[in-house]
Amino acid sequence: MGRAPLPSGSPLPSGAGIPPIPGAAARGLPPQAPGRKDVPDQRTLVVGRGISVQGSVQDAERLVVEGTVESSLINAKELVVMPGGLFRGGVEVENAEIAGTVDGSLIVRGSLTVRGTGRLLGKASCHRLKVDDGGQITGQLEMLPESGAAPAIASDKPAEAAPDAEPAA
């Protein structure tokens, strides 16, 4: 038995890439990160409502969680946890949008957005943070330096003067 062809009037031409997330706009979430035009070319894993996945996920650029995902470590470009979705474990991503629950360790090298229905439990690190009214963060939150800035490293050396500071006499 083969797959049924796309219904007529489908927004996707045959042979197109990955379809947008069904109902994402109705849930108030963008189908892709702002400014991203290449989502159909991304390798996307959608864990649907009522589905539970345990283990590791490899080679997924975009992970969309509507059900439950439990993993020790996932490395992807983008994480989207939809309302009612649960991610438990560790994840390192470029950008994350949380409208469900993340319980564990989250490292975001870019922007972390916690929507009004989102809950972040555990430890999170990010460069940029946006929390909508009603969003919850419980645990430890660390703001990472911008990529152009050097990370702060503890040292026994005395601090040097800023380049535009007057030299000491």
Q: Which pLDDT value is given to residue 74?
A: 81
Domain ranges of the chain: 42-143
Position 76 scores a pLDDT of 85
Task: Output the pLDDT for position 159.
Answer: 43
Q: Which residues of 143-161 are buried (b: 16+ CB within 10 A; e: fewer)?
A: eeeeeeeeeeeeeeeeeee
Tens of pLDDT along the chain (169 residues) come to 454 554 444 444 444 444 455 555 554 555 554 444 444 578 999 999 999 999 888 888 999 999 999 998 788 899 999 999 999 999 999 999 999 999 999 999 999 999 999 999 999 999 999 999 999 999 999 999 876 444 443 434 444 444 444 445 4
Contact 128, 113 (CB under 8 A): no
Q: What pLDDT is stored for residue 90 in this prediction?
A: 92
- Residue 33 is predicted with a pLDDT of 47
The pLDDT, as a whole number, for residue 151 is 43
pLDDT confidence of residue 72: 80
